[in-house]
Amino acid sequence: MVIHSSFEDFLLFLYVHISKADDSYDPKELKTIEEKMKDLYPAGTDFEKKLYLAIRTYNTFDKTRIQELTIDSLQHFRGHADKKLKVISDLFDIMNADGKVDEGERQSLNELNKTINSYL
């Protein structure tokens, strides 16, 4: 299952996923995502609109299918192995942006880390 038209949009979806892993959208985490988006998208991109759309997509997505989506998307968007460490680092930064890490966030990051290391 692939629902994104670009690797960057898929990464943004993962960023939203890790920010919501503690069951809330913390403003500091969202601000960190917006900062990370500057490395994903060209200047002039409406980051706020793009983030809003990613959140809306995430909110309607069946969360039991995150693993399937991640694996399929990583296989679909091949050729980005050079970004593996940056993706993991970005997810870690987003998760830590609010100064606290709960078990849900830790578990989500561990699962994503394993999957990304296996398929990217």
Q: What is the pLDDT of residues 1-60, one digit of tens each?
A: 999 999 999 999 999 999 999 999 999 999 999 999 999 999 999 999 999 999 999 999
pLDDT of residue 120: 84
What is the C-alpha to C-alpha distance for residues 117 and 100, in angstroms, rounded to an integer? 25
Read off the pLDDT of residues 59-104 as tens digits, 9 standing for 90 and up.
Answer: 999 999 999 999 999 999 988 889 999 999 999 999 999 999 999 8
Q: Does 2 fall in a domain?
A: no
pTM: 0.95
Q: Does 115 fall in a domain?
A: yes
Give the total number of structural domains in the chain: 1
73: CATH? 1.10.3680
Task: Report how far apart the first and last C-alpha atoms of the chain are (Å, whole number).
Answer: 16
Q: Does 61 fall in a domain?
A: yes
Q: Please give the structure tokens belonging to residue 102.
A: 């709960």
